[in-house]
Amino acid sequence: MPTAPRRPTMVLAHGFGCAQSMWRFVVPAFTDTYRVVVFDHAGCGAADHSAYDPERHATLDGYAADLIEIVEAVADGPVTLVGHSVSSMIAVLVATARPDLVERLVLVSPSPRYIDDAGYRGGFTAQEIDELLETMDANYLGWSQVMAPVIAGNPDRPGVGDELADYFSRADPDAARRFARATFLGDNRADLGRVRTPTLVVQSRVDPIAPAEVGQYVHEHLPHSELVTIDSFGHCPNLSHPDLVVAAMRGWLEES
């Protein structure tokens, strides 16, 4: 009896301070056609504490190196790599460093730079980011409780913000502070033009962390990309509006 062809692999990477369960509403939609792999970044979720290295993980390059190792371990061919929030830029770094490992990219709520710059709107001033990081340093748990509902949006559904706050509170505080600096002080705009991988950009209609202009910028600077704006509010549509994320991904993956 002939052996059934092996399903292609899809790897999903969660955003800052979260965990692989952020994808639990998205994963079931793809398990029939993909071998779906989720994981926790070092310092997040249930990741082995020994995997976190303060020096390695002081920049997104360290997380990208981790992700390259994961893809090499779980797949025997190029994967569909899905990143949410900062993991979108981690995925971009993987695709530029090892294009042989990535067949397609899906970037959900991406931002290459959170700080406004000349001719560029990232959504925050440098002073606002400095204050955010200072607050994290002074009272990480307090920051988590205040910022999670803002990041999640959907005030009529407080459970979304509560879940995000729970993720933040369970992350290692020191690792989270370093991850925050790598995230919010980073600038990956120049990396976008180096990507040659077909890419889907999924942008929420209203995103308090990565506004619509950012999604448009990412699309315009990725040579082989398509932008889909979904009718969602908040920075975590994979948690708050997973059906819309799934529909956008399915439509693009079936056509690409």
3-state secondary structure of 207: coil
* Strand partners for 13: 83
Q: What angle do CA 222, 98, 64 make, to 5 degrees?
A: 85
Burial label, 118 (beta-carbon count in 10 A; 0-12, 13-18, 19+): exposed
C-alpha 63/C-alpha 28 separation (Å) is: 26
Question: Contact at 8 Å (CB) between 88 and 12?
Answer: no
- Annotated catalytic residue 207: yes
Question: Contact at 8 Å (CB) between 180 and 16?
Answer: yes
Catalytic entry in 41, 57, 219, 235: 235
Catalytic entry in 57, 66, 84, 85: 85
Catalytic entry in 207, 232, 240, 241: 207
- Annotated catalytic residue 76: no
Taking the CB of residue 168, how many other CB atoms lie within 10 A of it?
Answer: 23
C-alpha 215/C-alpha 228 separation (Å) is: 9
User: Which sign, positive or negative, has the C-alpha torsion 46, 35, 15, 22?
Assistant: negative
- Annotated catalytic residue 85: yes
Instruction: Indicate the DSSP class of residue 254.
Output: H
Taking the CB of residue 78, how many other CB atoms lie within 10 A of it?
Answer: 17
Point out the residues that are catalytic. Answer: 85, 207, 235
